[in-house]
Amino acid sequence: MTHWFHRNPLKATAPVSFNLYGVASSPAANKICNDLRTTRARLLDMFTDTTCTPEIMKKSSDEYFALLQGFILPLDGTTQENKLRFIQNFRWTDTLQGNIASAQQDAVFELVSMAFNVAIWYTKFASRLAGKENITEDEAKDVHKSLKIAAGIFKTLKETHIPRLITPAEKGRDLEPRVIDTYIVQSQAEAQEVAIARAIELNHNASLIAALSFETANFYQKADHTLNTLDPECSSKWKKYLQLKQHFYMAYAHCYHGQTLLAGDKCGEAIRSLQEAEKFYSRAEALCKEYRQMKGPGSTAKPSEQLFFKKLGTFIKNTLEKCQRENSFM
């Protein structure tokens, strides 16, 4: 099954020299500063390198974060704040705010911003791989794993690192709860999409697929509701994606529930369930058109022309016709 996922743009950042004159006074200290500058530049390059793999991304990010911890962790084993934490200024844009940058003189701000971008990279890698036709089992596992890693990074940032910031995140910025919560739930929902596709390929029980689809639709609904109070100018397109995926998986849920009812010789109920699937699918089609017309951050695509979308429409139609035929025999 070929997947399609909406993706917001990566965060952008200003170069950082790490030229700490008067502080880095020894050759060893200067080497650490040089290594920080080099590993940061290399990691930033990896975000836009189409040949980058999860293994390369992990190695590059681990190298930079290991050095950056020297500016964050207490150096003497006490609970006192590391004096190097506030010595360097960092500037970053946000995924929903265009080129408007915010700056903090705080190494923790750099840690959470860069790690946020790493998580976004994993979602983009998953999207690129999932969009292939005839995706293999191993590739599907890589997509699922990448989305789980992204969700884990977002969750760790929210629970562990963002609360340490001296300056709280402004409304609508990536590090505020509504935005990061949406990224967490979206990553979880998309990972479950891969599980559903795998269950369909392996001809698992229709009731299981219906249950997974219903749960996935609820994930997308939750993510959509989380963005309700965000400025529509920067979130409307994202919300349309979440809404169309919610209706798409509600159509899936009703379609497979109809199959379960049909297997139990409940043709009348099965027909009603498939008719509900048609309603949700029609609404998803309308949302696809609205999505294409929306302005704002995110990829430009025609979701209703994607293979995954067309397949469901045909599947609902064929299943409903089968239910109606069997009902006419009774």
**DSSP-derived secondary structure for 62-122:** HHHHHHHGGGTS-SSSSSSPPGGGGSS-EEE--TTSTT--EEES-HHHHHHHHHHHHHHHH
- The token pair that represents 112 in the structure block: 């959470």
Same domain, 193 and 213: no
- What pLDDT digit, counting tens, does each position of 302-314 carry? 776 776 778 888 8
- Residue with structure tokens 């080497």? 31
pLDDT band, residue 169 (cuts 50/70/90): confident
- Is-contact 105 86, C-beta < 8 A? yes
pLDDT band, residue 112 (cuts 50/70/90): very high
Q: What is the mean pLDDT of the chain?
A: 90
- What pLDDT digit, counting tens, does each position of 60-72 carry? 999 999 999 999 9
DSSP H helices, the chain, are 27-47, 54-68, 107-130, 137-156, 177-201, 206-226, 232-263, 267-293, 307-329
Query: What is the total count of domains within the chain?
Result: 2
- The token pair that represents 91 in the structure block: 């500037």
What is the model's pLDDT at position 92?
97
pLDDT band, residue 171 (cuts 50/70/90): confident
Of 203, 232, 259, the residue that ends a domain is 203
Query: Does pLDDT of 301 surpass 80?
Result: no
Domain holding 21, by residue range, is 1-203
Of 186, 203, 220, the residue that ends a domain is 203
Same domain, 254 and 288: yes
Q: Find residue 91's DSSP bridge partners.
A: 103
Radius of gyration of the chain (CA): 23
Of 203, 236, 266, the residue that ends a domain is 203
- Is-contact 315 282, C-beta < 8 A? no
Query: Does pLDDT of 210 surpass 60?
Result: yes
What is the model's pLDDT at position 329?
63
- Is-contact 117 47, C-beta < 8 A? yes
Q: Find residue 90's DSSP bridge partners.
A: 104
What is the model's pLDDT at position 25?
63
Same domain, 198 and 209: no
Residue 254 CA neighbour count, 13 Å, CB half: 22
Same domain, 149 and 180: yes
Query: Does pLDDT of 254 surpass 60?
Result: yes
Kind of pairing between the strands at 90-92 and 102-104: antiparallel
What is the model's pLDDT at position 141?
94
